[in-house]
Amino acid sequence: MVYMCIHSVRGAEMGKLNYHDTRKQTIVELQNQIWARERGVSEKANRVYSTGCEDLDALLPHQGIRRGSLVEWVGSTSASRAGTLSLIAGKQICPQVLPTVIIDVQHELFPLSLSLLGFDLSRVVLIRPNSEKEALWACEEALRSEAIGVVWANIERMNSTSFRRLQLAVEASAGIGFLVRSAQALKQPSWAEARLLVHPLRSLHGSPCVRVELASSYRKLKHSQADIVIDSVKGTLYGTNTTANPLPLVSQLGVTATYQHSA
């Protein structure tokens, strides 16, 4: 069965393969296609987006965020930066023409920071429900819509049934859902494609670092954790071992200006 799939895929994708510059990428793509055929996933849901950080992509089952999937970001502490990391990744993968829906149960998300992270606020809809029940309803409705790029929600309490409903909704629309939760969630079952546990680390040259750990995934992966730096100036992600993204000079020098603001 699997051999036949490879054969048919290779036949169909022969033209595409010439464009891939690495053998590794080709293998990953073929693996994804085999997986999609085995699970009966649509062509649209087979598309995978990079988070913009190779080390983070390596922790995900498809070497990136697959359409039609939920990703859970669990913060080990309240200021672990799981939310910040997920927002940066969400901004990276959201198609430019589609709006982002942010469901903020705590009513504390600061829209100015979204703008600084590169979100176009004219394409952001912020939903501030009064209860987690309302948030779950809104999240499911949003995930079911094909007109939304990314749905981001910080819902804390979720039973298995609700989670499964969200997963079915996101699969039906081939959308993308990010759930940001606290460490309490680790005790609860997950229907997400990947559950990433985020620990804060001490800063590196003025930019915050996090350790991202793959807490659970339906697929066994070679990497289970990565140390990632969030560039405090650009708001982008890169691995601590990556040299392709040198730190900005300002950060390297550790210079922080004192602003004098007056209205």
- Nearer to another protein by Cβ, of 34 and 168: the residue is 168
Shortest distance, position 213 Cβ to another protein, whole Å: 14
Closest by CA to 179, choosing from 169, 231, 210, is: 169
3-state secondary structure 188-220: CCCCCCEEEEEEEEEEECCEEEEEEEEEEECCC
Nearer of residues 18 and 106 to another protein, judged by Cβ: 106
* Binding residues vs another protein (CB under 8 A): 75, 77-84, 87, 96-99, 106-117, 120-130, 134, 137-138, 141-142, 145-148, 199-203, 207-209, 230-236, 256-263
Of 189, 180, 129, 109, residue with least CA distance to 151: 180
Residue among 56 and 148 whose Cβ is closer to another protein: 148
Instruction: Please identify, using beta-carbon distances, which residue of 70 and 136 lies nearer to another protein.
Output: 136
**Residue type for 80, please?**
S
Amino acid at 67: R
- We find the least distance from the C-beta atom of residue 164 to another protein, in angstroms, to be 21
Both tokens of 198, joined, read 């985020």
Give the nearer residue to another protein in terms of CB position, either 9 or 176: 176
Please say which residue, 36 or 103, places its beta carbon nearer to another protein. Answer: 103
- Least distance to another protein, CB of residue 223, Å: 21
Shortest distance in whole angstroms from residue 221 CB to another protein: 25
Question: Taking the CA of residue 63 as centre, how many other CA atoms within 13 Å lie in the half-sphere pointing to its CB?
Answer: 12
Q: How far apart are CA 75 and CA 78, in angstroms?
A: 7
CB 45 to another protein: min, Å: 17
- Tokens 């051999």, residue located: 3
Q: Taking the complex as a whole, how short is the minimal distance between the CB of residue 203 and another protein, in angstroms?
A: 6
Sign of the dihedral defined by the CA atoms of residues 51, 52, 56, 62, in that order: positive
* The two structure tokens encoding residue 102: 């942010």
In a 13 Å sphere around the CA of 185, the CA atoms on its Cβ side amount to: 27
Side chain identity at residue 173, one-letter code:
S
Buried b (16+ CB within 10 A) or exposed e, 227-248: ebbbbbebbbbbbeeeeebebe
Cβ closer to another protein: 61 or 129?
129
Least distance (Å) from another protein to the CB of residue 218?
Answer: 27
